[in-house]
Amino acid sequence: MSSLKLCSSFFLQLIFTLFVFDLANAKGLKVGFYAETCPQAEAVVKKTVVPVIARAPSLAAALLRMHFHDCFVRGCDGSVLLNSSTHQAEKNAGPNLSLRGFEVIDRVKTALEKACPGVVSCADILALVARDVVTAIKGPYWQVETGRRDGRVSTKFRGHSEFVIAFIPS
């Protein structure tokens, strides 16, 4: 029972942290940002994610964690998704090597590109997926403000140093 309370406490702290990071990156964000340009965006994300989580519920935590890691370095900009031919991207930093679920994000991106090409940012996809996977495992639901812009910079060094600095005791 105490481990359940500990998990619940950790989960709520993580959601609060993500909320704070989203506020820090909140220039022009609003619920329903895609209402005119891609009204089915959130439904497409949910329709893609729910069956995956039904088959592999452990991916819910992994995908929520991916959003957290994305927000930790340079804000919630989708930069954790960027690849590098020289393995120098943020996803190649030590703390990010154990991230998993990239194929789920790719599947959602493909579905959204089919529905409304070039509209929904990868940063918003991560935020919407994080919400929908939590809901899929019977966690809370929350409105996600969308309108994030994708980052175009992703460096391994920055990803590693930001995490290390955050966990060094003062």
Catalytic residues: 69
Give one DSSP letter per residue of the chain, joined into a string.
Answer: -HHHHHHHHHHHHHHHHHHHHHHHT-TT-BTTTTTTT-TTHHHHHHHHHHHHHHH-TTHHHHHHHHHHHHHHTTSSSSGGG---TTS-SGGGSGGGTT---HHHHHHHHHHHHHHSTTTS-HHHHHHHHHHHHHHHTT-------B-PPPP----HHHHHHHHHHHTS--
Q: Is residue 78 part of an annotated ligand binding site?
A: no
Does 150 count as an annotated binding residue? no
Q: Is 85 annotated as a binding residue?
A: no
Residue 103 known to bind ligand: no
According to the annotation, is 77 in a ligand binding site?
yes
- According to the annotation, is 147 in a ligand binding site? no
Residues annotated within the binding site are 70, 73, 75, 77, 79, 90
Residues annotated within the binding site for Ca(2+) are 70, 73, 75, 77, 79, 90
